[in-house]
Amino acid sequence: MKPAILVVRAIFPEVLERLSVHFEVESNQDDVIFSPSELAARLKGKAGALATASARINTELLQQLPDLKMVASMAVGYDNIDLAACTAHGVKASNTPEVLNETTADFGWALLMATARRVTEAEHWLRGGQWNKWRYDYFLGPDVHGSTLGIIGMGRIGQAIARRSLGFNMKVIYHNRSRLSTEQELHANHAQYASKEELLGKADHVILVLPYSAASHHTIGEAELKLMKPTATLVNLARGGIVDDVALIAALREKRIAAAGLDVFENEPKFHSDFLTLKNVVLTPHIASASEATRRAMANRAADNLIAGLSGQNPPDWLNP
Ligand code: GLV
């Protein structure tokens, strides 16, 4: 008999078909968002789950699921998964690194450019029927080319963002838990290591690409925003909670920084409604990895992990070996 799995959220049909060769698949193509108790009920008796970053995998859930052997998440960030709890319950966990690096770096640039050059604000103005003349000072923003880019979190995605800055003739400074090798710094457009405080004081554009954890909670709060230049922009591509959204709203409202571009929010998909009252913020719904090819690659990579993990092999992206 094939092992039973739950695909927690809607997914590409061809990936469901692939999974059905190996497993008895319960799917959720209507994309119902399960409460924790509904998720537990659906997972009862299942050997595996293909989940996303929105599913909380913790002790409370796992202790109800003695048959569960593996959770494969379709995301690179895994702050939703309590790895210690998984290990304690004999559950393998995996994520989907690498396949989204370049697509996510592209989107970091999309947000940076849109934020600095006020693309969405100008479009809303045009759509609102306000365009009746050209003016020298309409929608002035800071330049991107020739400026200093500050990257906080210099993992694979941060380095891919840095590489792209070469074409914009930018200086790159970065802050990371550990310093890169000289060779990695060279490939990342000669990125220079800086303390967080130094980076915030010097960068014209700051991009956040670090993983969320208790240690990175509110990496950018009121004190950090005060260190930034009044002309600077801030992009959060990483996770809600890395930025203190209330502090950011105050800084944007008082023009203590020029603008922000946000793909992630505290408590998303709910987010602080005051963001909607501000013109100097670009808001997108957690889509940094959303290219057709990359989302397919992520889904297939999660499937690869589940297939390997439930057939007694090592999942390629095993997080708790
Ligand atoms: C998306 O946020 C991911 O972690 O892949």
If you take atom 4 of ligand 1, which residue's CA is the nearest one? 77
In DSSP terms, 175 is beta-bridged to 152
Confidence of residue 294 (pLDDT cuts 50, 70, 90): very high
- Domain count along the chain: 2
Residue 81 shares a structural domain with residue 9: yes
Residue 225 lies in a domain: yes
Shortest-distance atom of ligand 1 to CA 77: 4
92-94 vs 192-193, strand pairing mode: unpaired
What residues does ligand 1 touch, defined as CB less than 6 Å away? 53, 75-77, 100, 289
Residue 16 shares a structural domain with residue 126: no
Q: At what angle do helices 101-116 and 156-164 cross, to 10 degrees?
A: 50
CA–centroid distance, residue 127 to ligand 1 (Å): 32
CA–centroid distance, residue 52 to ligand 1 (Å): 9
State pLDDT tens for residues 76-116.
Answer: 999 999 999 999 999 999 999 999 999 999 999 999 999 99
With b for 16 or more beta-carbon neighbours within 10 A and e for fewer, the 200-209 pattern comes to bebbbbbbbb
**Two tokens, residue 134:** 């050209």
CA-wise closest residue to 154 among 140, 165, 169, 139: 165
For residue 307, give Cα distances in angstroms to 21, 25, 56, 293. 10, 12, 22, 21
CB-based contacts of 281, cutoff 8 Å, min separation 6: 115, 252, 259, 260, 261, 262, 275
Distance CA 225, CA 256 (A): 8
CA–centroid distance, residue 287 to ligand 1 (Å): 9
Residue 296 shares a structural domain with residue 258: no
If you take atom 3 of ligand 1, which residue's CA is the nearest one? 75
Residue 166 lies in a domain: yes
Residue 197 lies in a domain: yes
Residue 196 lies in a domain: yes
Residue 218 shares a structural domain with residue 185: yes
Residue 320 lies in a domain: no
Shortest-distance atom of ligand 1 to CA 264: 2
User: pLDDT at position 218, please?
Assistant: 98
Residue 60 shares a structural domain with residue 174: no
CA–centroid distance, residue 137 to ligand 1 (Å): 38
User: pLDDT at position 91, please?
Assistant: 98
State pLDDT tens for residues 181-217.
Answer: 999 999 999 999 999 999 999 999 999 999 999 999 9
Shortest-distance atom of ligand 1 to CA 286: 2
In DSSP terms, 208 is beta-bridged to 152, 236
User: pLDDT at position 205, please?
Assistant: 98
**Two tokens, residue 93:** 């966990």
User: pLDDT at position 315, please?
Assistant: 98
Shortest-distance atom of ligand 1 to CA 96: 5
* Neighbouring C-beta atoms of residue 191, cutoff 10 Å: 25
95: left (phi over 0), alpha (psi -120 to 50) or beta: beta
User: pLDDT at position 76, please?
Assistant: 98
Residue 149 shares a structural domain with residue 54: no
Residue 82 shares a structural domain with residue 208: no
DSSP assignment letter at 2: P
CB 159 within 8 A of CB 140: no
CB-based contacts of 29, cutoff 8 Å, min separation 6: 10, 11, 13, 16
Residue 204 shares a structural domain with residue 299: no
If you take atom 5 of ligand 1, which residue's CA is the nearest one? 75
**Predicted TM-score of the model (pTM):** 0.97
Domain range for 88: 4-98+292-309
Residue 105 carries which side chain, given as an amino acid letter? A
Ligand 1 mutation pick, 79, 289, 301, 319, max ligand atoms within 8 A of CB: 289
What CATH number has the domain bearing residue 303? 3.40.50.720
**Two tokens, residue 79:** 């702050």
CA–centroid distance, residue 16 to ligand 1 (Å): 20
Residue 270 carries which side chain, given as an amino acid letter? K
CA–centroid distance, residue 237 to ligand 1 (Å): 9
State pLDDT tens for residues 258-276.
Answer: 999 999 999 999 999 999 9
Residue 233 lies in a domain: yes
Residue 261 shares a structural domain with residue 303: no
Shortest-distance atom of ligand 1 to CA 78: 4
Residue 22 shares a structural domain with residue 83: yes
For residue 255, give Cα distances in angstroms to 202, 250, 260, 297. 18, 8, 11, 40
**Two tokens, residue 189:** 């457009």
Ligand 1 mutation pick, 50, 100, 263, max ligand atoms within 8 A of CB: 100
CB-based contacts of 110, cutoff 8 Å, min separation 6: none
Confidence of residue 286 (pLDDT cuts 50, 70, 90): very high
Q: What is the dihedral of CA 118, 168, 164, 221, to 10 degrees?
A: -50
Distance CA 262, CA 195 (A): 23
User: pLDDT at position 262, please?
Assistant: 98
- For residue 88, the number of C-alpha atoms closer than 13 Å in the C-beta half-sphere is 12
User: pLDDT at position 184, please?
Assistant: 98
State pLDDT tens for residues 22-81.
Answer: 999 999 999 999 999 999 999 999 999 999 999 999 999 999 999 999 999 999 999 999
Residue 319 lies in a domain: no
**Two tokens, residue 73:** 């998440």
State pLDDT tens for residues 157-166.
Answer: 999 999 999 9
User: pLDDT at position 126, please?
Assistant: 98
If you take atom 1 of ligand 1, which residue's CA is the nearest one? 75
Which active-site residues does the annotation give?
239, 268, 286
